[in-house]
Amino acid sequence: MTKSTTNQKLSPATRLAQALHFRDTETGAVVPPIQPAATYARNENYEVEKPYGYRRDGNQTTAHAEAIIADLEDASETMLFASGMSAANAVIEHLPSGAHVVVPKVMYHGVLNQFKMYHARNRLEVSYYSASNLDEMAAVVRKGETQLVWVESPNNPDWEVTDISAAAKIAHDAGAKLVTDCTGTPPCVTRALDLGADISFHSATKYLNGHSDITAGVLSVREVGQYWDDIWTVRNLQGTVLHSFDAWLLIRGMRTLFLRVEKATKNALAIANHFEGHPKLTAVLYPGLPSHKGHAIAKRQTGGQFGGMMSILVKNGEQAAIDVARFCQVFYPATSLGGVESLIEHRKTVSGDGFPVDPTLLRLSIGIEDADDLIRDLEQALARI
């Protein structure tokens, strides 16, 4: 089994649609097989046939998915994990005890809770900045001391946009690494490594896979070194490598990434434009709207493909917001994002007490359905409150 090559210069969309022009050399199959082995036999010299001896080392199917994402990110190396949370945890775990890190006050609550937990146990020292506010970021970064700056852009669930190149400069001037979580606008549109990030993180559960049927997390880098080996060791010791069956689903899902993000963006723009200024809403938060304060940066960083993530703030309080989610008939009232199906969720219910979120906020993950069906569904739900 190999991947064929061509002399032609192909666009990322072509390479992705063909899973790097995969072709099974034995059979001609254009779809890769799944390699599920948990263990590998030693050879006649009693040596392990590298690079795999055991499941936790990785496997062929996962390595194929990693090669596809590395190609998309123009990364030298990519590592896949069993979830976004385990990928984020490997980054945190590889840091020495007492390391100083800088993170947004509002970001995906699960990753934020990991930082808070490590902080509470004195394992890390954590300073916070308001997402997208570079002055605040610069004020808490400590030259020669901070080891890692975390940026989530756009941040979940407020969709504030951070200037990644400017954040990279702040981090690098202090001697820190910049990690970006651009899960909301995947690497077909936001090329974080090009913008200066040292580690590009994504929850591959979301747009990369796109079908809400696996969890996966991914880290991509241009420069490798001891730190990258240490992250690999965390994955190996914790056994959090992405399973081969899930890697296979990810490969299948990624083939349509460009198409899905394009359609989700188109739908989201139509929905945001329709509901901006709606009498039952106090705000529509979507970086694709020219009125959004991060619009110009988002446009530059995504090439105008703003993705399908937005939030709406509902008038008349928390219960009215919950009711809108309950009354939807096309949107699923479910958590997660980046799938082909549209989801709506009352974020405060999901992120729990202690997380700073407006109680009237509903997070929408816009899928690839007909935009008019989605608009009508939200209109009828809003009409009932």
Residues lying near ligand PLP in the complex (CB under 6 A): 83-85, 108, 110-111, 152, 156, 181, 183, 203, 205, 215, 217
Cβ closest to ligand PLP, residue 107 vs residue 174: 107
Q: Which of 52, 129, 163, 181 is catalytic?
A: 181
User: Is 315 one of the annotated active-site residues of the chain?
Assistant: no
User: Is 108 one of the annotated active-site residues of the chain?
Assistant: yes
Q: Determine the Cα–Cα distance for residues 307 and 154; give it in Å rounded to an integer.
A: 10
Q: Which of 15, 23, 55, 56 is catalytic?
A: 56
CB of 199: closest distance to ligand PLP in angstroms? 13
> Are 126 and 101 in contact, with CB atoms under 8 Å apart?
yes
CB of 175: closest distance to ligand PLP in angstroms? 26
CB of 83: closest distance to ligand PLP in angstroms? 4
Residue nearest to ligand PLP (CB): 84
> Are 312 and 283 in contact, with CB atoms under 8 Å apart?
yes
Both structure tokens of 379: 């209109």
Cβ closest to ligand PLP, residue 203 vs residue 342: 203
Cβ closest to ligand PLP, residue 205 vs residue 311: 205
CB of 127: closest distance to ligand PLP in angstroms? 20
Cβ closest to ligand PLP, residue 156 vs residue 305: 156
Query: 319-325 long-range contacts, Cβ below 8 Å, gap at least 24?
Result: 320/360, 320/385, 321/346, 321/359, 321/360, 321/361, 321/362, 322/346, 322/349, 323/381, 323/384, 323/385, 324/362, 324/378, 324/381, 324/382, 324/385, 325/362, 325/381
**Single-letter code of the amino acid located at 313:** L
Hey, is 343 helix, strand or coil? strand
CB of 173: closest distance to ligand PLP in angstroms? 26
Q: Which of 191, 206, 235, 260 is catalytic?
A: 206
Q: Determine the Cα–Cα distance for residues 16 and 193; give it in Å rounded to an integer.
A: 18
Residues 6+ apart with CB under 8 A from 50: none
Cβ closest to ligand PLP, residue 158 vs residue 358: 158
Residues assigned a catalytic role: 56, 108, 181, 206
